[in-house]
Amino acid sequence: MIASVDPDRVQTEPASLFAMLAGKARRSSDAMLASLAGVGGLSAVALIAMRPAWWAFVLPLVSAGAFGVWGILERATAERATPRSPGYDRAIGAAQWLAAAIGTVCAIITVFAVLGFFLGTIIS
């Protein structure tokens, strides 16, 4: 499909997961993104402090918090009125990349942890 000669192939190809999440973050309210970032981060810290053995439950919270942080940073770059310095743009880009990487890794580990939990009960 990538090598297609269709000039409208961008509209015909399905969006990736990251593109769908980016669209969701752009449509979300500021309060929702801030609450995801705050509640995800605070609950992850609290759960690690109280019950370190429950580390697997922290991963989805960190992933949700990373989504909130990424959405806030995306809004900061998309809705600015005046141009900023190149250093600011690099810092925001690096922070967005870091939030996306952390959220993605936590989501992947969560999927494997859930899969391992269910397969462990079936195989045993």
Q: Is 62 helix (H, G, I), strand (E, B) or coil?
A: helix
Strands (E), 1-124: none
Q: Do 36 and 65 form a contact (C-beta atoms < 8 A)?
A: yes
Output phi, psi for 82, to 5 deg.
-110, 150
CA angle at residue 54 from 113 to 94, to 5 degrees? Answer: 70
How does pLDDT run across 8-53, given as a tens digit for each residue? 555 666 778 878 888 888 888 889 999 999 988 898 888 888 888 8
CB atoms within 10 A of CB 71: 26
pLDDT-derived band of residue 1, with 50, 70 and 90 as boundaries? Answer: very low
Q: Most distant CA pair in the chain: distance in Å?
A: 61
Quote the pLDDT of residue 26: 84
Query: In the chain, where are the structural domains located?
Result: 21-123
Which H/E stretch holds residue 51?
Answer: none
Residue of 82 and 20 predicted with greater confidence? 20
